[in-house]
Amino acid sequence: MKTDTKSTVLLKHHLKALRLPTVLAECEKVAKQCADDNVDHLGFLLNLLELELIERDRKASERRLKAARFPAPKTLDEFDFAARPSVNKPQLLDLVRGDYLTKRENVLLVGPSGTGKTHLATALGMAACAQGKRVRFWRVTELMTTLREAEQERQLLRLRSQLTKLDLLILDELGYVPASKAGAELLFDVIATAYERTSVVLTTNLGFEHWTEVLGNERLTGAALDRLTHRCTIIETTGESYRLQDAKRRRKAAS
């Protein structure tokens, strides 16, 4: 049977109503291809639905990446492990597989500025997005400000409930700016809520012994550290800043 124009119009209407945009866009092309290749009806249907699924996955992954708000895309492939011997490559390759997320475990990246902490945290986050996880990247100062604003606008519950829906919370740059008392308390609260529910990847330039200096309250800092480190992998990025290394290498190559 040859499909007439009226049937085609109706078909497109139904596909729209059923929200199958890829089937809608591709059905005529795939129908022709299948006819040429002698593919039967079920094969045709399979081809089309596969296209729809692939496109849905792609869109969902794009949405998750956007929602995560990474400052810049970074992957492990781009990470030069030779330049950072304190970072264990097999350990990172194991982490990006995401088992720590299923186990609600944490990752702490500790080291001086420019040593790749944000890079590695982002790479872990992007891998998690690709695995269908809900991720949100926050600079610690930005999160504290947002929490305080939410509190003033009586939106704190809403923001906190959004945070509890995450699979991975990335807290970047703890310790660069001393926290206000209110900010620190709100941050402690987020960390306490995430405990055993949401994985946290945290980056900091501070050794644990210095956390109290930045966060104030010794008791609360101790409690936060206790929760963060209970089930966690600690990665130390020691050595000189990558940018500095890079600049030196370039200078050497030029001379």
Query: Could you list the residues that contact ligand ADP (CB under 6 A)?
Result: 74, 78-80, 83-84, 111, 113-119, 203, 237, 242-243
Stretch that binds Mg ion, among 103-111, 118-126, 179-187, 237-245 (CB under 5 A): 118-126
3 state DSSP class of 88:
coil
Q: Is residue 115 a contact residue for Mg ion (CB under 5 A)?
A: no
The two tokens of residue 247 are 């600049």
Q: Which does 242 bind (CB under 5 to 8 A by kind): ligand ADP, Mg ion, none?
A: ligand ADP
Contact 178, 208 (CB under 8 A): no
Q: Which does 119 bind (CB under 5 to 8 A by kind): ligand ADP, Mg ion, none?
A: ligand ADP
What is the DSSP secondary structure assignment for residue 174, as one 8-state letter? E
Of the candidates 69, 195, 68, the one whose C-alpha atom is nearest the C-alpha of residue 134 is: 68
For residue 156, the one-letter residue type is: L
DSSP H or E stretch at residue 145: helix 140-152
Nearer to Mg ion by Cβ, of 22 and 204: the residue is 204
C-alpha distances (whole Å) from 95 to each of 43, 73, 202, 219 are: 39, 18, 14, 31
232 conformational bin, left if phi > 0, alpha if psi -120 to 50, beta if neither: beta
Q: Looking at beta carbons, which residue is closest to Mg ion? A: 118
Stretch that binds Mg ion, among 15-23, 84-92, 112-120, 124-132 (CB under 5 A): 112-120
- Interacting partner of 137 out of ligand ADP, Mg ion, none (Cβ under 5 to 8 A depending on kind): none
CB closer to ligand ADP out of 74 and 136:
74
Between 117 and 133, CB nearer to Mg ion:
117
- Say which residue the tokens 């995450």 belong to: 166
Give the one residue of 22, 47, 115, 118 binding Mg ion; rule: CB under 5 A.
118
# binding residues, Mg ion (CB under 5 A): 2
Q: Which amino acid is at 55?
A: E
Give me the amino acid identity at 135. Answer: V
Q: Which does 211 bind (CB under 5 to 8 A by kind): Mg ion, ligand ADP, none?
A: none
Q: List interacting residues with Mg ion (CB under 5 A).
A: 117-118
